[in-house]
Structure 1
Amino acid sequence: MPSVTPDDAPLLADLMPWSVAPPRLGRGWPAAPDAASLKARWDALLKAEGPDREALFEPTRSRTPQSAVGQLPGRHGGTEKLARATGPCAEPVRVLRAPYDEQWLIPDHRLIDAARPELWRVADERQVFVVEAAIAPADSGGPLLLASGVLPLVRPGRIRPLYRRPGGTEPNLAPGLSDHLTDRLGHRPDPLDVLAWALVAVRPGLSVPLTADPELWSRGVELGRRVLWLMRRDGERPKLPGGRRPYVRAPLPSRPVALHYDRTEETLQLDDGRISPVPPEAWDFEAGGVRVLEGWFAARMPGPAEPGTLEAIRPATWQQTWTSELLELITVLALLAELRPQQAELTVTNPITAAELRETGVLPVPDTARRPASVLDHHEEGPEGQFTLL
């Protein structure tokens, strides 16, 4: 990791000051690896009435079928109390359910204990959410930060949107930071460049050493842009080193129950199904102390659910889309692991220290920068169809 003493490096919390606690669902059934199950669960909920609907809902102190809540910003879910709801299921959206694991969520405020509307207000195709990863054993090599183009549900770390407003406007950077970096580097860095640098320079304790060396900055940003592209998993499908790609070598069973890795053959086995090549670095990749591929598989082939619950409504067989997602995930993990030595070699020289940022007035960050943008110029539907202007 970069070699600057901890006392000198500014904290991520100061460089990207606005942060939000991760959403808390309160119940598992509104999220799933496939969208069809979510719509079937919604239909089953609405077919039930009275006490049966309430039991299926799994009420908490924060949410019951009688809760009156507004619509999620930018979404079209109903706002009448769930106890008398009759409308269709809100169209499921992609979310980051776990590190490197995109799943689906019913974007209905009535189903979510703590949805964090301030995150939904700024979620769009330009947004990048930075997630503070769960603390893992020091030798696990897991990432300290995750980046996602979809809303993260990963707990327990805080979420730092790159932009404070929709449309990629008003970067969530300490006021004056961009100007100071411009003076020291000789060019104005894009907000994505600052994020890219943070992804590869961050250290335990979430401090982010900065540099005034233009060549080192460019090298770090280029590396960080590559990491960011792989984490967001958008655009062209990546390839393994040498242009290789993992393929299904033996058909996957309709409902695999066991996942095994053959290190000698570089083969991932799902019962009798086989996928290769799977580099050891992909299999060994961990996040939060959990092997990513094992966690991803367990989310799709979980143990038996309690009969009569909405979570028991799930695919009876392995989905073809999961195979495609798994092949891409293997490649992404292998490529991220390949970049780790370059990150480790990123030694920061000519540092921009926290003391320097204090001397120039960038730090301390004003309290207003730690709060969400206060005015957004669109209507949002409140409880029972009322409208509010934020």
Structure 2
Amino acid sequence: MLYAYRSFDRQWVLPDARVINQPNPELWRARGARQVFLTAPHDRAPSSAPSLTLSALIPDLHHYSGRGGRTFPSWADADGLSSSIRGPLLSHWTETLGRAPGAEDMLADIAAVGAHPGYVERFRADLGTPGLRIPLTADAALFDEAVELGRRVVWLHTFGERFADPSHGRPADAPRLAPERRPRVPAAGAIPSAPEGMPDQLAYDDAKQRLIVGTGCIEPVPPQVWRYEVSGKQVLVQWFSYRRKHRERPLIGDRRKASPLGDIQPDHWLAEYATELLNVLNVLGLLVELEPQAADLLARICAGPLLTQQALEASGAFFPEGHSPARAAPQGALPGFGAEAAN
């Protein structure tokens, strides 16, 4: 099955706890058709681009940028009936806005505010202390605007698998740029599928706005898409590093070599690689187009009325200091979970 290995990088995994390192039973149990997983840095501040990313798939421990982080499922259950957002926060926001925001609306609002470079640029000094602080608007009109923008952001991050709505330009399919801006493989730029032509280098031609994949190429690819980062990790470079001809890893940890399982890999460029690379390029291109709108909305939200920390604390929206929600016992949602796997 597919899972979210890194931000904007979907890879295959065997869904069995006996072959997965440190599987999280709670995340697997919450996996469902409506679920959206939000990932963000936990012990460090985001350095560039989106401060959070989203996925419809189970995320890897290092999904956000390859260096740890936290995962926040939007729903506490697989059926999408129990929101992960605390009741007191929902109640307080309902009272403030004059109507009840849904759990998906609140997720969309957070995505609109935090999943773009403008958030990091605006709050860089504050982010010196790890942990994201998302400004929550108390203005109903701004909230509606954020929800509409955020739904598109979630739709893009999940490759069209969540928040699809054709009437709002979000078809239930892989997102695509307008035809005149859509990246494609030109007739003379086919990426070889034979083993001897397996790409090992990824480069970029600024003048031609061309992504060079081995001896093949894709165009047009705007410079902003080529340079798109998630907290210092260039998305396209990282994506390609897991699919290039030579994928040797440096010695890690206690100097042990990587698992021999890493040697089992395709010896040629797969058709699915080309398809997925085009998917990623379209998603990043559409996200880049949204950045000015998102930055403008964030500025107006910050200039308007906000839910204050004092009001949220008084409403019981935060857990008391030293308290954390109870963790339910694993239910064996992932094959191979036994008593030893749950400990």
Shift of 1:201: 1.9
Shift of 1:263: 1.2
1:213-292 map, 5 Å? 213-233=139-159, 234=161, 235-241=172-178, 244-249=181-186, 250-254=189-193, 255-292=198-235
Q: Is the 8 A contact 1:133 1:287 kept in 2?
A: no
Among candidates 148, 152, 176, match of residue 88 of structure 2: 176
**Which string of whole-angstrom CA distances, capped at 9 and with x for unpartnered residues, describes residues 8-43 of structure 1?**
xxxxxxxxxxxxxxxxxxxxxxxxxxxxxxxxxxxx
1:132-171 map, 5 Å? 132-133=40-41, 135=44, 138=47, 140=48, 142-155=49-62, 156-171=68-83
Percent identical across equivalent pairs?
35
Q: Which residue does the alignment assign to 1:111?
A: 19
Give the structure with higher Rg (CA). 1
Among candidates 124, 135, 141, match of residue 32 of structure 2: 124
Shift of 1:265: 0.9
Among candidates 164, 169, 188, match of residue 100 of structure 2: 188
Structure 1 stretches of 5 or more lacking a match?
A: 1-92
1:267-346 map, 5 Å? 267-301=210-244, 303=246, 305=248, 309-345=260-296, 346=298
Distance 1:136 1:377, change over 3 A: closer
- Provide TM-score, normalisation by structure 2: 0.77
Distance 1:279 1:133, change over 3 A: farther
Shift of 1:313: 1.4
> Which piece of structure 1 moves more, 285-294 or 295-304?
295-304
Q: Distance in 2 between matches of 1:329 and 1:124?
A: 23
Shift of 1:268: 0.8
- Over the aligned positions, Cα root-mean-square deviation in angstroms equals 2.8
Q: Is the 8 A contact 2:28 2:333 kept in 1?
A: no
SS in 2 for 1:163: coil
Distance 1:308 1:158, change over 3 A: closer
Q: Distance in 1 between matches of 2:259 and 2:95?
A: 63
Q: Which letter maps to 2:59?
A: P
Q: Which residue does the alignment assign to 1:48?
A: none
Q: Is the 8 A contact 2:4 2:11 kept in 1?
A: yes
Q: Which residue does the alignment assign to 1:206?
A: 132
Q: Which residue does the alignment assign to 1:7?
A: none
Q: Distance in 2 between matches of 1:380 and 1:168?
A: 22
Shift of 1:101: 0.1
Q: Distance in 1 between matches of 2:259 and 2:322?
A: 48
Aligned length: 292
SS in 2 for 1:296: helix
Distance 1:317 1:136, change over 3 A: farther
**Which string of whole-angstrom CA distances, capped at 9 and with x for unpartnered residues, describes residues 120-164 of structure 1?**
1111111111101475774x3x21111111000042001111111
> Which piece of structure 1 moves more, 375-384 or 113-122?
375-384
SS in 1 for 2:152: helix
**Which string of whole-angstrom CA distances, capped at 9 and with x for unpartnered residues, describes residues 166-222 of structure 1?**
200211112211121111112211111111111222354400111111111011111
Q: Distance in 1 between matches of 2:200 and 2:333?
A: 48
Q: Distance in 1 between matches of 2:92 and 2:305?
A: 14
Q: Is the 8 A contact 2:26 2:330 kept in 1?
A: no
Matched, 1:363 2:318: yes
Q: Which letter maps to 1:150?
A: L
Q: Which letter maps to 1:276?
A: E
SS in 2 for 1:211: coil
Q: Which residue does the alignment assign to 1:82?
A: none
> Which piece of structure 1 moves more, 302-311 or 149-158?
302-311
Q: Is the 8 A contact 2:40 2:69 kept in 1?
A: yes
Q: Which letter maps to 1:246?
A: P
Shift of 1:333: 0.6
Q: Distance in 1 between matches of 2:335 and 2:212?
A: 48
Distance 1:302 1:116, change over 3 A: farther
Q: Which letter maps to 1:269?
A: I
